[in-house]
Amino acid sequence: MSVISVNNISKKYIIKHQGKQQANVKDAMSGFTNALFGGRNKVEDEEFWALTDISFEVEKGDRLGLIGSNGAGKSTLLKILSRITEPTSGNIRMKGRLASLLEVGTGFHQELTGRENIYLNGAILGMRRTEINKHFDAIVDFAGIERFLDTPVKRYSSGMYVRLGFAIAAHLEPEILIVDEVLAVGDADFQKKSLGKMKDVSNSGRTLLFVSHNLTAVQGLCNKGAFLQHGKLKSFGEVGNVINEYVQSVSKFKLSQTWATPEIAPGTDDIRIKRIEIRPTVELKTSYIDVRIPLKIELEFWSMIEDADLNISVFLYTMAGECIFNIGSNPKNMKKGIVRGEVDIPGSFLNDGSYYLSVMIVKDSATPLFFFEDAIAFEIQDFREETAWYGKWPGAIRPLFIPVNTWQQELL
């Protein structure tokens, strides 16, 4: 049975341009009277479609994860579903009591005490007084603010504030729960707690709509996914497939580069790069690389030097530009021709995140012949099993100490 049925939802916003914005008194007056009497504005403004023609169904008990880049329309869709704003066209049918949690502590008043704010926030989220009374002790306990119950929340630390806000929301008992990126706030401990609570919600058979940039959390919590791009629904269905498609579409990384002739290839008079590639060494079940997958870096270059001791060196960086490691091969005597080298990056070594790498070709272990910077960029997705925690795993590497084969090189 579908509890939410979204039919051809579109949402238009009017973007006012600074220059045109009621430049004279006459325009301003006509805008004002039109607002009063419901006429149309003569001033032409640019239309922006935040959502176009979105349709999907959510079954009872589904946990739907909404994913997409910034500006894809996720928040607009949530706002329409939460009835905060109306769609420009289309309609939504919804069965059951709905609560939306677009931020933690909505409507908290700084001057009021913790106790007063529990009742205020509860009522705003749609709880009845009797319900709040029933859960009052549990809320206070969950938030851990017993001692400060009668202190105005303006004196709370930001941590206490967020905990109290979440504690109230966590004790809502709606049939449909809509949650926006609330997990982005708070420390790791709080994120763990809140995700655990969301898991409870989903396990209890209620319907959950969840927006997050944290794909790990979406994967762990949701059974269905919806991928929005530029206001359109790109894909909808089983969460793994949807995440696949999303990751593929946003990945702007170059996993290989090839040059046909030395003339156009990057390099110097001594060295010209022919090909550089990073690829998984096992067959992938997904369309992306996750933390378990072993990788191989391959490099081919034209060597124009008759006879030299060459070695190759690779530098791996995080997106922030921090070097994680540098491995060089042993120098090897090479004739003129095409030289090929490869190095393995074992699976379960790098953490999830984005990386780029540079390679350097060195002569006689001392003279750099060519430093090929930012040669390749790639992204590693998270993978976790049997865990209740989906926060970002810290660090650039996540090693499971596996013996490493370093550079091999040969003359082709």
Chain residues that interact with another protein, rule: CB under 8 A: 13, 31-32, 35-36, 38, 79-98, 100, 102-103, 106-107, 109, 111-112, 116, 119-120, 123-126, 128-129, 152, 175
CB of 99 to another protein, least distance (A): 9
- Which residue from 203, 191, 130, 147 is spatially nearest to 166, judged by alpha carbons? 191
Q: Which is nearer to another protein, 115 or 292 (CB)?
A: 115
Q: Which is nearer to another protein, 31 or 331 (CB)?
A: 31
CB of 293 to another protein, least distance (A): 41
CB of 190 to another protein, least distance (A): 20
CB of 380 to another protein, least distance (A): 35
Q: How far is CA 404 from CA 58, 289, 359, in A?
A: 47, 19, 18
CB of 229 to another protein, least distance (A): 22
Q: Which is nearer to another protein, 120 or 338 (CB)?
A: 120
CB 371 within 8 A of CB 321: no
CB of 183 to another protein, least distance (A): 17
For residue 296, how many other CB atoms are within 10 A of its CB?
Answer: 14
The tokens for 86 are: 């109306």
> Judging by DSSP bridges, how do beta strands 2-15 and 46-59 pair with one another?
antiparallel
- Which residue from 344, 352, 355, 294 is spatially nearest to 322, judged by alpha carbons? 355
Q: Which is nearer to another protein, 102 or 304 (CB)?
A: 102
Q: Which residues of 80-117 are buried (b: 16+ CB within 10 A; e: fewer)?
A: bbbeeeebbebebebeeebbbbbebbeebeeebbbebb
Q: How far is CA 131 from CA 138, 171, 204, 237, in A?
A: 12, 9, 18, 35
Q: Which amino acid is at 339?
A: V
Report how far apart the first and last C-alpha atoms of the chain are (Å, whole number): 63
- Which residue from 369, 407, 140, 364 is spatially nearest to 266, judged by alpha carbons? 369
CB of 241 to another protein, least distance (A): 28
CB of 108 to another protein, least distance (A): 9
> Judging by DSSP bridges, how do beta strands 332-345 and 323-328 pair with one another?
unpaired
Q: Which is nearer to another protein, 85 or 203 (CB)?
A: 85
CB 370 within 8 A of CB 361: yes
Q: Which is nearer to another protein, 108 or 246 (CB)?
A: 108
CB of 301 to another protein, least distance (A): 57
CB of 106 to another protein, least distance (A): 5
Q: Which is nearer to another protein, 3 or 271 (CB)?
A: 3
Q: Which is nearer to another protein, 130 or 387 (CB)?
A: 130
Q: Which is nearer to another protein, 54 or 362 (CB)?
A: 54
Residues in the chain: 412
Q: Which is nearer to another protein, 35 or 138 (CB)?
A: 35
- Which residue from 77, 319, 65 is spatially nearest to 215, judged by alpha carbons? 65
| Beta pairing partners, 297 | 278, 343
